Amino acid sequence: MSPVHADSFAELRRAMVEEQLRRRGIKDKRVLEAMTEVPRHLFVPPGQYDEAYDDRALPIGQGQTISQPYMVGLMVSLLDVQPEHKVLEVGAGSGYQAAVLSRLAESVCAVELVPQLAERAARILADLHYDNVRIMTGDGTVGCAEEAPFDRIIVAAAAPEIPEPLTEQLAEGGVIVAPVGNRLVQTVVRAEKRGSKLNTTRSIDCVFVPLRGRHGWND
């Protein structure tokens, strides 16, 4: 890619952060910096680079989508990731949100059900030398027992409820953010683990592709 192109994408990215995130109330400085840094266009299908910074979700193949920038900014801000944290993402998709998380955390384990998507995400992240992210192929609703506990867990597909194994694999005091609801509309939910209890707060309504797998939608 020519330097001229690289510069224009950086410009589009700054505008995205200013207009779609900061102006709509996303304040977390580290999240804004990470989203200014991560080249979102590389995660959308080639040929659609010019649309990568638009204010919407985009198709990434296999019937799946890369989330709208605002939704990534909001959910990752709610997650409150600190530099020493170990993070689990369920639904890696394009790998974009995992890339953003990798700028904020010690390490990220991102699980994707669709092998073709997982392979592409892993390749892009490796090309960028984002070496603290590991993409795994499989059903993320069962979590990732060999890497647990996690300080933070984020679910990037619509869940009927927070999958039990994820709550179990969350560290004490840890936070999980997930879109919870029915298949048509969900609410972004943030839950903090205190002993055997989850203290839950609700944020905005949203629309995600369905979470499949053992603790997702199976029809």
Which residues does the annotation mark as catalytic?
Answer: 67
Element (H, E) at 109: strand 107-112
- What mask of x and - would describe binding to ligand SAH in positions 43 to 82, judged by CB under 6 A? ---------------------xxxx---------------
Backbone dihedral angles phi then psi of residue 211, each to the nearest 5 degrees: -80, 125
Which one of 21, 35, 76, 93 is in contact with ligand SAH (CB under 6 A)? 93
- Determine contact, residues 175/200, Cβ cutoff 8 Å: no
Provide the terminal-to-terminal Cα distance of the chain, rounded to the nearest Å.
43
- 209 near ligand SAH, rule: CB under 6 A: yes
Contact with ligand SAH (CB under 6 A) among 20, 77, 97, 102: 97
Instruction: Please give the C-alpha separations between residue 58 and each of 20, 51, 140, 142, in angstroms, as whole numbers.
Output: 15, 8, 22, 27
Q: Applying CB under 6 A, which of residues 42, 156, 189, 206 lies at the interface with ligand SAH?
A: 156
Angle at 34 between CA 89 and CA 112, to 5 degrees: 20
**Closest residue by beta carbon to ligand SAH:** 91
**Residue numbers at the binding site for ligand SAH (CB under 6 A):** 64-67, 90-94, 96-97, 111-114, 117, 139-141, 156-157, 209, 211-213, 216
